[in-house]
């Protein structure tokens, strides 16, 4: 699969170079819009040839698990799928740019892409998180079955329960990713949840109806509860822990927003803040430009592959200077950093291709303008302590909690960016003067964008938790709630006749 993608990328690059020399700027805008659509299709079909062939070091079949050692190899395979890895790179850049593009803050560097315009229908043929997530779920189910089939005596201490708990975490994360992008997660009573997979998907197990949103949430939370109870307390940062499960449960519950959910978010957040080994960095920039996955506030990260730094089409080069793609900061992102010290290290100068994407500039969160790829710039972040603070603040507002505590939590995050009361910053004062729930939720949303832009969809989810009218003011191309999610891929209806209805606003084909 990696080889096919590399060929597709190289062909796209060669095509772009030819077009650059032969066409004027007016033509270029149309051409690059067309090219990105073609590239999406090429990459999908290149991948689709090998859907049934897992990476060589990602084996998870039950018959390969015969003891603790082989179980650990299989568990590593689940993490390999979670990272959406190939021999050269991890595939997490789409966790960074895709939701941020949908929200209006990251922009394709050569004109409008479908995600910039919220043209969701085009993604029917490019299932994005669908393939990645179900691949991980299937790997996790293989691990769970294989480990459960072994006698307890094959494992030392609590390692059997820990391995199953880690797999439950990865399965929960992946099911929630699918619910978040392909199910009506924002409608608790909707029938349009997701297909829940709890066993390895052999051909005979494929036909299955999608569950309701309520049942989808319940299944995900059950997996996370097991991970909270049984996952390791300590683990390398690229492996799950009970703390990661708590943080993930916070993310799930804030989206569900049911009776008692906000209280649970607050309780879990306080437990993490007060009792976990994670602490906020004194300077937020240090997470990305100095410490990376060694930062004490990273709860779960994605470690780059061994050859990733030198790979010509790695993640960093898609931000600067340009490889197969160029992802840039939009004018909206620059605007939200007004009066914010982070502007100087998050947003660079306009790119040379500004004529095709007006108002955009280099996005420097992962690689500074003029920098070269390194392990820091190639690392990805699934869960950070900053998100825990901001989600607790949001839960407090939504449950009618103490506004002084809310302001303290937001100010704590602002202080790590150099925004304090002593500097009389307008963004600090905006939080201080936000004395209604609606005003405070807007300030929390803005700080979520500033702190968590381009990580794992926090800015997109935070936007969609606002009222629809507010969402449309911020991103006018989101014309209805149907655009909160994506069409179920046609292949699902082809191979799973029991699936059920297509998502509203999309054609079942």
Residue whose entry in the numeric block shows the structure tokens 């997490």: 92
Q: Could you tell me the mean pLDDT of each successive run of 10 residues in the chain, 509 residues long? A: 36 33 36 38 33 39 83 97 96 96 97 95 86 96 97 97 98 98 97 96 81 98 98 98 99 97 98 98 98 98 97 97 96 97 97 95 98 98 98 98 98 96 89 97 98 98 98 98 96 94 93
Residue 80 lies in a domain: no
Cα separations (Å) of 308 from 50, 93, 194, 278? 22, 13, 33, 27
Half-sphere exposure of 289 (CA within 13 A, CB side): 13
- Cα distance between residue 87 and residue 49, in whole Å: 17
Please name the residues in contact with 236: beta carbons below 8 A apart, sequence gap of 6 or more. Answer: none
Residue 244 lies in a domain: yes
* Res 61: pLDDT: 54
Phi, psi of 282 (to 5 degrees): -65, -30
- Cα distance between residue 94 and residue 108, in whole Å: 12
Residue 495 lies in a domain: no
Q: What is the DSSP string of 180-200?
A: HHHS-TT-TT-S-------S-
* Res 126: pLDDT: 78
The strand pair at 380-384 and 347-350 is best described as unpaired
Decide if 459 contacts 346 (C-beta within 8 A).
Answer: no
- Residue 273 is part of which domain span? 237-303+383-453
CATH number at residue 287: 1.25.40.10
* Res 203: pLDDT: 61
pLDDT digits (tens, 9 = 90+) for 159-187: 999 999 999 999 999 999 999 999 999 99
Residue 357 lies in a domain: no
- Cα distance between residue 419 and residue 483, in whole Å: 35
Residue 437 lies in a domain: yes
Residue 389 lies in a domain: yes
- Cα distance between residue 494 and residue 499, in whole Å: 10
Q: Could you tell me the pTM of the whole model?
A: 0.89
Nearest CA among 392, 406, 415 for reference residue 434: 406
Residue 167 lies in a domain: no
* Res 201: pLDDT: 84
- Cα distance between residue 153 and residue 371, in whole Å: 51
* Res 205: pLDDT: 66
* Res 423: pLDDT: 79
- Cα distance between residue 163 and residue 79, in whole Å: 12
Residue 123 lies in a domain: no
pLDDT digits (tens, 9 = 90+) for 37-61: 333 333 333 333 322 233 334 455 5
Decide if 144 contacts 161 (C-beta within 8 A).
Answer: no
- Cα distance between residue 305 and residue 311, in whole Å: 10
Phi-psi region of 22 (alpha: psi -120 to 50; beta: other; left: phi over 0): alpha
Decide if 6 contacts 311 (C-beta within 8 A).
Answer: no
**Rounded-to-5 percentages of helix, strand, coil across the chain:** 55, 5, 40
- Cα distance between residue 405 and residue 398, in whole Å: 13
Provide the domain count of the chain. 1
């Amino acid at each position: 699969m990696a080889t096919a993608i590399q060929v597709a990328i190289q062909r796209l690059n060669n095509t772009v170079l030819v077009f650059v020399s032969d066409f004027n700027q007016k033509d270029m805008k149309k051409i690059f819009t067309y090219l990105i659509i073609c590239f999406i299709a090429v990459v999908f079909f290149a991948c689709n040839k090998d859907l049934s062939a897992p990476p060589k070091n990602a084996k998870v079949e039950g018959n390969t698990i015969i003891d603790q050692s082989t179980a650990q190899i299989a568990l590593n395979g689940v993490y390999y799928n979670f990272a959406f890895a190939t021999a050269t790179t991890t595939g997490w850049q789409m966790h960074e740019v895709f939701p941020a593009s949908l929200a209006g803050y990251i922009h394709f560097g050569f004109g409008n892409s479908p995600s910039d315009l919220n043209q969701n229908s085009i993604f029917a043929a490019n299932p994005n998180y669908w393939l990645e997530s179900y691949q991980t779920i299937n790997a996790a189910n293989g691990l769970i079955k294989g480990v459960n089939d072994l006698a307890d005596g094959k494992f030392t201490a609590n390692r059997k329960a820990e391995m199953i708990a880690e797999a439950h975490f990865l399965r929960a994360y992946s099911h929630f990713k699918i619910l978040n992008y392909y199910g009506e997660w924002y409608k608790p009573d909707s029938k349009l949840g997701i297909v829940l997979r709890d066993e390895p998907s052999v051909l005979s197990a494929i036909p299955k109806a999608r569950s309701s949103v309520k049942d989808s949430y319940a299944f995900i939370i059950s997996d996370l509860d097991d991970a909270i109870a049984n996952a390791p307390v300590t683990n390398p940062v690229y492996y799950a822990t009970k703390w990661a499960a708590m943080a993930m449960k916070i993310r799930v519950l804030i989206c569900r927003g049911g009776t008692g959910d906000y209280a649970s978010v607050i309780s879990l957040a306080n437990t993490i803040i007060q009792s976990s080994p994670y602490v906020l960095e004194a300077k937020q920039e240090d997470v990305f430009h100095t410490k990376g996955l060694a930062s004490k506030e990273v709860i779960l990260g994605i470690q780059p592959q061994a050859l990733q730094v030198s790979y010509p089409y790695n993640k960093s080069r898609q931000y600067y200077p340009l490889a197969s793609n160029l992802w840039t900061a939009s004018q909206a992102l620059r605007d939200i950093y007004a009066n914010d010290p982070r502007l100087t290290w998050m947003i660079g100068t306009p790119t040379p291709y500004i004529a095709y994407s007006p108002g955009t500039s280099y996005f420097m969160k992962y690689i500074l303008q003029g920098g070269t790829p390194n392990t820091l710039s190639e690392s990805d972040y699934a869960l950070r302590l900053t998100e825990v603070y901001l989600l607790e603040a949001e839960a407090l507002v939504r449950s009618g909690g103490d506004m002084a505590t809310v302001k303290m939590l937001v100010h704590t995050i602002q202080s790590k960016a150099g925004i304090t009361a002593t500097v009389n910053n307008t963004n600090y004062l905006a939080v201080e003067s936000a004395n209604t729930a609606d005003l405070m939720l807007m300030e929390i949303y803005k700080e979520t964008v500033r702190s968590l832009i381009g990580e794992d969809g926090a800015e997109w989810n935070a936007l969609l938790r606002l009222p629809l009218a507010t969402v449309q003011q911020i991103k006018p191309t989101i014309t209805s709630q149907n655009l909160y999610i994506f069409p179920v891929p046609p292949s699902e209806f082809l191979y799973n006749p029991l699936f059920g209805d297509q998502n509203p606003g999309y054609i079942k084909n």
